[in-house]
Chain A
Amino acid sequence: ETGVTQTPRHLVMGMTNKKSLKCEQHLGHNAMYWYKQSAKKPLELMFVYNFKEQTENNSVPSRFSPECPNSSHLFLHLHTLQPEDSALYLCASSQAFGEANYGYTFGSGTRLTVV
């Protein structure tokens, strides 16, 4: 058990579909993140939530819509995606403030394929 659980593990969706990715952590962390991992590129930060409030949207297209109902859960709602959105989507959590920052705890990601 990693501490951060992502579902589903794999997702294939058409460009007209609507789907959601889910992330859950019970580590007592209060910051959660969505990253996009594409081959041969650095991880791209998409969204940051701190104490359930979105504090960063890194110029992400509106076809990606995050939701953070509480500090333990994070969703990424997807609609009308493009084939170039195919990637591994990683969720992470951490302590938001203070010296107790030992890095992120990551989930195992959702491998998204847009057809």
Chain B
Amino acid sequence: EIVLTQSPGTLSLSPGERATLSCRASQSVSSSYLAWYQQKPGQAPRLLIYGASSRATGIPDRFSGSGSGTDFTLTISRLEPEDFAVYYCQQYGSPFTFGPGTKVDIK
């Protein structure tokens, strides 16, 4: 089973700043089978990025994903007030696994 580690655990930033979130896998993720999700309190997760770098339908272009192999990054170019949330990475090989999450909160 591929174990995902996310860093930092918490990221404290101000609106307008750039956020860089890291996801590292215990072994290479096949064919960039890597997704990112956003979850706000009391809500279900929402798919942001799939295939490591493709934005899901309706996701603003301030969200971008990059990486391959074992190291992946989610970048939010300029934080909007609605972007403060918890972000999870997921690899969808088999079995599917999620990282522990990174909380982006307001500084």
A, B bound: no
